[in-house]
Amino acid sequence: MTRRNRALLWGSAGLTAGLAINAAIRLRFMLDMRGDVVLITGGSRGLGLALAREFAGLGCRVAICARKQDELDIAKHDLERRGAEVFAGVCDVSKESEVVNLIQAVRARFGRIDHLINNAGIIRVAPVANMTLDDFRYAMDVMFWGVVYPTLHVLDEMKHRGRGRIANVTSIGGKVSVPHLLPYCCAKFAAVGFSEGLRAELARHGVKVITIAPGLMRTGSYRQAEFKGNHQQEAAWFSISSSLPLMSMGAERAARQIVAAVRRGDSEKILSTQASLLARANGAFPGFIPNLMAAANRFLPHETFDRESIVTGAQAEQHAEDYQRRLTRLGRRAAERLNEMTETRA
C-alpha cells in the first residue's frame, strides 16, 4: 500500500470515527421524553398526525386538537391502536377561549403539559388580486395568533418547572415569500419572528423553543387546501409540487427529523435540502430570490375577476386531468396514510 493510500485510509477512518462520536454526543444529549405530555395542535391529520405517532413511539402521552370531531376520532383510534395514551379535543386555535378550554382539559386528563407543538395551519392559494382582506386576517388568526395563544397559556407552567419544549412549525414560506401564497407567507413570517424572539427570552428559564421551517412535504394536505381565482390550474400546480419526490419530502421522514430536533432543543430546523438552499440563498443574495420568484410567477395562473369563490383540493381533484392524477399519486397515498382523505367544504 502506497503512502498516499495509507493516508487516505487513515483519513477515512478518522472521518468515520469523528462522525460516529458526533452522532453519539448528539444522541447523549437528546431529551428522554418517556411519560411526558405533548400537546400537538392540528394533530388529527397530515404532519400533525405523523408527529403524534412519532412522539407516541417515544412513550409520550399525546394530546391532539383539531376543528373536526370526526377527524379527531379517526386519529385517536389510530394512535391508541399503536399503544398510545391519547387525549383528543375539538379546538379552533384562532379563538383564545377555545385554546384555554383545551389546555384546561388536557391538564385535567394528564395533570400537566410538558411540551407544545404548534402545528395547526391552513393554506389558501391564489394571486394576490384574488385575495381579500379576510384571507389575510384568516391566515394571521390561525397561523400567528394560533401559535401565540397556546404558547402564552403554557408558558408559566413550563417556566415554573424550568423545563419544556415549544416547537413552532412554520414554513420555508416564513423565510422566503412565495407567489400565490401571500397571506400564508405573511402569517408564517410573523410566526418565525415570534418563535426566534421567544427562544431568546425563555432560554434562561430552561424552556427551549424550536423553529421548524419545512419545505414542501408529501402529506396529502393539498386536498384540504383552498384555491381561489383559476381553481383548477391553481390546484394543479400546487398538488403536483407537493407530491413529486424531487420537490417534496416524505411526511414520516419529516416527522422523525422534527422530533429529533425537538429532543435536541435545536434553535432551528429547515426541512429538505431544497428549502435549506433556498433560505441560505435568500440570506446571501436578498435581491436575487425575489427576482427569481417574479420569473417563476410568470408561469403560474393569472388572476380572475372572481375574488370570493373557493374550491378545496379534494373538490378540484374530482375534475383533475389524467396527467395530474398520475403526478399526484404519491400525494394521494400520503393522504390515505395520514387521514387527509376526508372531504371538506370551503
Q: Active-site residue numbers? A: 184
Q: Tell how many helices (H) and how many strands (E) occur in the chain.
A: 14, 12
CA distance 66 to 86: 14
Cell of 343: 372531504
- 338: phi then psi, degrees, rounded to nearest 5: -115, 25
- Which cell is 333 given? 397515498
Three-state secondary-structure class, residue 211:
strand
**What are the DSSP E strand ranges found in 170-296?**
207-214, 217-218, 226-227, 249-250, 268-271
Beta strand residue intervals within the chain, DSSP E: 37-41, 61-66, 86-90, 115-118, 124-125, 164-169, 207-214, 217-218, 226-227, 249-250, 268-271, 311-312
Task: Work out the number of other CB atoms within 10 angstroms of the CB of residue 183.
Answer: 24
Report the Cα–Cα distance between both ends of the chain, in Å, rounded: 70
